[in-house]
Amino acid sequence: MSEQQHVTIVMVEDDEGHARLIERNIRRAGISNAIRHFTDGSSALNYLEAAADGPALNGPALVLLDLNLPDMSGTDILARVKSNDRLKRTPVVVLTTTDDKTEIQRCYDLGCNVYITKPVNYESFADAIRQLGLFLSVIQVPEVEAKG
Amino acid sequence: MSPSPVDLGESARKEARAERVFNALVIGAMVLGFVTLLGVAATAATVLARNLNYTDWVAHTYRVDTAIADFRALDERIETARRGYLLSHDERFAAGVNQLKAQIGAQVDFLQKLTVDNPRQQANLVALRQEVAEQFKAIDVSIAFARGGADDSSQFFNDTGVASTRVIRSRADAMEIEEKRLLQARNAERLSSVRWLVTISIIAGLLLLFVAAGSIFVILRYTRDLGVSRAELRRLNVGLEDEVATRTAELQRANDEIQRFAYIVSHDLRAPLVNIMGFTSELEAAAKPLSSLLERAEAEAPAIVAEDARTAVTVDLPESIGFIRASTKKMDRLINAILQLSRQGRRVLAPEAVDMGALLSGVAATLQHRSNELGAEIVLSPNLPTVFSDRLALEQIFSNLIENALKYLKPGRPGRVDVSGDLRGGRVVFDVKDNGRGIDPKDHERVFELFRRAGTQDQPGEGIGLAHVRALAYRLGGTVNVESALDQGATFRVSLPLRLTSSEPSR
């Protein structure tokens, strides 16, 4: 796990409850990485692209993305991340309630790495998040290339 | 652009009025024409009859004239015969005289008969008869005198015969003049009647010409009006079709909007529901260490366990969590139902030729087990039409309707579901008729609303089926409604276009 310690998990989720449940279940899976939570798209994008401690300038990250956000669509954030030279290799896990086929296809087309539909049933939800945590514990996140 | 119904009524009334006026005019013209023709024919016949009559009379006049001339000749001959006898004393002349006397009498009789209609000639004849008698007397006297042997010319000069012959001659002249007068009068009358006929004919001809011109004018105008109103009708028809298309499009748009709305709402409702369910589970999980703590406290230091704390942990907490869970599960089912509905609405329709007989047999077969259990039968009418529409949507509509019919049977009455369908214009109308418990008329609209149900709530269900059926029927460009009364069974009528034209907005 030590290798993954410095990978920041950036969670973009407008629902505080969902965010809390996701965080709890990730922790229960034994993941202790820092989790940065944003409830709207613009501040999340700002952090990803421009913050001094953000992934574009400093260190690898993994994005947990909800599609239904108050200020913009999650797919817009996905497109921005995947078109940014410094961020395009950052893994993006779309975690949302939408199970619309065209929406799922669109996200994969835009370069999303994993698409997970939040199960309504909590047991399944908790299960899914814990499995996601286990998944996060084994995946390799590429280093952000140094500038220049 | 689309005409209002008021315009329609107005134009129809106008047309009816124009037609009445036209009919009256044409019939009037025809009657006038026929009356004129009849008048002309009658006049011609009268004039002709009168002319024939006049001709007869003219001929008659000529006959009278001839008879007068004959009489004149006979009278001259008797005078000649008398003179012959007086000169020659030849008895043959005397015999001639007697013979001529008889002939003259007969001729006068003949004249009298001929002119029986003319009092003037009759008066003339009375005078003539007298004059003839006087002539005869003079002839007799002179012959008797001559036979007596006297050859006295003085006697001859005393003779009245010559004078009476002259009188007779002038009488005959008078009669001839009278006949000529009659002839002239009759000719004049005939001429005037002919002239009258010509006048009448000209007037009638003009009248007929006028009637014909009027009729042609009216017919032309009517034909033009007819053309105008036919064009108007065509325009209205096209307008009507447009209106129907617009109405259908509006319905579909409204339906689409509802589907989209349902989709958004169901998604937005899901998010808080996940929280409620999630934190309820967290609560439940948190309650477990609490209750084990309580158990430990009760075992090790019962004094510190307050009654209300124990009730809260052992009764209130599990009960509350149970209610929350039951409610969230119900809400989850409802949201899933809406989601399913909206997902249906977003499915792209694939119109194809669907043999409804086969489709409904399939639906009936899948429900066979169910209907056998209930002791009900599903009867499909033969010759169900083929429609060009979306197979899956049709299947869902009819399986929902037939399933509903089986679901709401009247207890104690063997169930029977009849499905029939036939063509009406460009549409197909299907009836799903059951003999079940029926629906109160006040609930007829309600049953099609989402999550609304009617009657005794003794059957499981969320109130989705008929809302789904209606949404599908709208999507197929159709309608669905119900005719029913409590305990009288229900008939669900689905009216669909024979051909589904994909006029849906692309998604």
ipTM for the predicted complex comes to 0.71
Q: Verify whether the Cβ–Cβ distance B275 to A17 is below 8 Å.
A: yes
Q: Which two tokens stand for residue B406?
A: 């089986």
b/e burial code for range B173-203 (CB count within 10 A of at least 16 → b):
ebbeebbeebbeebeeebeebeeebeebeee
What is the residue range of A131's domain? 2-138
SS3 B14: helix
B202 and B172 in a single domain? The answer is: yes
A148 belongs to a structural domain: no
Cβ partners under 8 Å of residue B313, min gap 6: B287, B290, B291, B294
Residue corresponding to tokens 């409702």 = B269
In B, minimum Cα distance to A100 occurs at: B343
Q: Determine contact: B129 vs chain A, CB below 8 A.
A: no
Q: What's the pLDDT at B502?
A: 62
Number of CB pairs, chain A paired with chain B, less than 8 A apart: 49
User: Which of B267, B340, B342 is the mutation pick for testing A, counting most A CBs within 10 A?
Assistant: B267
Q: Determine contact: B279 vs chain A, CB below 8 A.
A: yes
CA distances from A88 to A35, A61, A84, A139 (A): 20, 11, 6, 16
Q: What's the pLDDT at B503?
A: 52
Q: Determine contact: B9 vs chain A, CB below 8 A.
A: no
Q: What's the pLDDT at B155?
A: 57
Q: Which residue has the higher pLDDT, A122 or A112?
A: A112
- CB neighbour class for A21 (10 Å; exposed up to 12, middle 13-18, buried from 19): buried
Q: Determine contact: B272 vs chain A, CB below 8 A.
A: yes
Q: Which two tokens stand for residue B457?
A: 């709530």
Distance CA B140, CA B147 (A): 10
Q: Determine contact: B274 vs chain A, CB below 8 A.
A: yes
Cβ-contact A120, B277 below 8 angstroms: yes
B384 and B315 in a single domain? The answer is: no
Which of B304, B325, B345 is at the close of a domain? B345
Q: What's the pLDDT at B60?
A: 84
B491 and B362 in a single domain? The answer is: yes
A44 belongs to a structural domain: yes
Chain B residues lying within 8 Å of A120, measured CB to CB: 270, 273-274, 277, 332, 335-336
Q: Taking the CB of residue B142, how many other CB atoms lie within 10 A of it?
A: 21
Q: Taking the CB of residue B476, how many other CB atoms lie within 10 A of it?
A: 22
Q: Verify whether the Cβ–Cβ distance B281 to A98 is below 8 Å.
A: no
Chain A residues lying within 8 Å of B337, measured CB to CB: none
- CB neighbour class for B400 (10 Å; exposed up to 12, middle 13-18, buried from 19): buried
Positions in chain B short of pLDDT 70? 1-11, 149-159, 502-507
B479 belongs to a structural domain: yes
Q: Verify whether the Cβ–Cβ distance A97 to B282 is below 8 Å.
A: no
Q: What's the pLDDT at B169?
A: 85
CATH classification at residue B434: 3.30.565.10
What is the residue range of B224's domain? 5-228
Q: Which two tokens stand for residue B434?
A: 């059951």
Chain B residues lying within 8 Å of A122, measured CB to CB: 274, 277-278, 280-281
Q: What are phi and psi of A73, to 5 degrees?
A: -85, 145
B491 and B377 in a single domain? The answer is: yes
Q: What residues are paired with B354 via a beta bridge?
A: B387
Chain A residues lying within 8 Å of B267, measured CB to CB: 68, 97-98
Which of B304, B323, B345 is at the close of a domain? B345
Distance CA B395, CA B383 (A): 18
Of B280, B281, B332, the CB nearest to A120: B332
Which of B206, B228, B250 is at the close of a domain? B228
Distance CA A68, CA A72 (A): 8
B31 and B101 in a single domain? The answer is: yes
- Give the DSSP H or E segment for A95: strand A92-96
Q: What's the pLDDT at B163?
A: 79
B411 and B304 in a single domain? The answer is: no
Q: Verify whether the Cβ–Cβ distance A122 to B274 is below 8 Å.
A: yes
B40 belongs to a structural domain: yes
B382 and B454 in a single domain? The answer is: yes
Distance CA B20, CA B128 (A): 75
Q: What's the pLDDT at B399?
A: 92
A143 belongs to a structural domain: no
By C-alpha distance, which of B107, B40, B124 is closest to B73? Answer: B107
Distance from CA of A33 to the nearest CA of B (A): 22
Q: What's the pLDDT at A65?
A: 92
Cβ partners under 8 Å of residue B373, min gap 6: none
B30 and B134 in a single domain? The answer is: yes
A145 belongs to a structural domain: no
Averaged pLDDT score across all residues of chain A: 83
B250 belongs to a structural domain: no
B60 belongs to a structural domain: yes
B161 and B110 in a single domain? The answer is: yes
Chain B residues lying within 8 Å of A123, measured CB to CB: 281
Q: Determine contact: A15 vs chain B, CB below 8 A.
A: yes
Q: Is the pLDDT confidence value at A147 over 60?
A: no
By C-alpha distance, which of A3, A6, A22 is closest to A14? Answer: A22
Cα torsion angle, A66, A67, A69, A73, sign: positive
B9 and B138 in a single domain? The answer is: yes
Cβ partners under 8 Å of residue A142, min gap 6: A60, A89, A90
Q: Taking the CB of residue B420, how many other CB atoms lie within 10 A of it?
A: 17
Question: pLDDT digit string (tens) for A78-95?
Answer: 999 999 888 888 889 998
Q: What's the pLDDT at B190?
A: 80
Cβ-contact B399, B360 below 8 angstroms: no
Domain count, chain A: 1
A146 belongs to a structural domain: no
Question: pLDDT digit string (tens) for B299-347?
Answer: 888 888 888 888 888 888 889 899 998 888 888 888 888 877 777 777 7
Q: What's the pLDDT at B356?
A: 93
Chain A residues lying within 8 Å of B281, measured CB to CB: 122-123, 126
B302 belongs to a structural domain: yes
B158 and B296 in a single domain? The answer is: no
Domain count, chain B: 3
End-to-end alpha-carbon separation of chain B, Å?
A: 30
Q: What's the pLDDT at B506?
A: 40
Which strand ranges, in their side-by-side order, compose the sheet holding A8-12? A35-38, A8-12, A61-65, A92-96, A114-117
CATH classification at residue A103: 3.40.50.2300
SS3 B497: strand
Distance CA B306, CA B311 (A): 9
Q: What's the pLDDT at A3?
A: 47
Longest dimension (CA), chain B: 214
By C-alpha distance, which of B431, B434, B380 is closest to B404? Answer: B434
Q: Determine contact: A68 vs chain B, CB below 8 A.
A: yes
End-to-end alpha-carbon separation of chain A, Å?
A: 30
Cβ-contact A69, A38 below 8 angstroms: no
Q: What residues are paired with B420 via a beta bridge?
A: B431
b/e burial code for range B207-224 (CB count within 10 A of at least 16 → b):
beeebeebbeebeeebee
By C-alpha distance, which of B147, B130, B56, B35 is closest to B94? Answer: B147
Q: Which two tokens stand for residue B474?
A: 């709208």
Q: Determine contact: B321 vs chain A, CB below 8 A.
A: no
B78 and B154 in a single domain? The answer is: yes
B238 belongs to a structural domain: no
Which amino acid, one-letter code, is at B339?
Answer: L
Distance from CA of B262 to the nearest CA of A (A): 13
Listed in sequence order, the DSSP H helices in B89-118 are 91-114
A82 belongs to a structural domain: yes
- CB neighbour class for B148 (10 Å; exposed up to 12, middle 13-18, buried from 19): exposed
Longest dimension (CA), chain A: 48
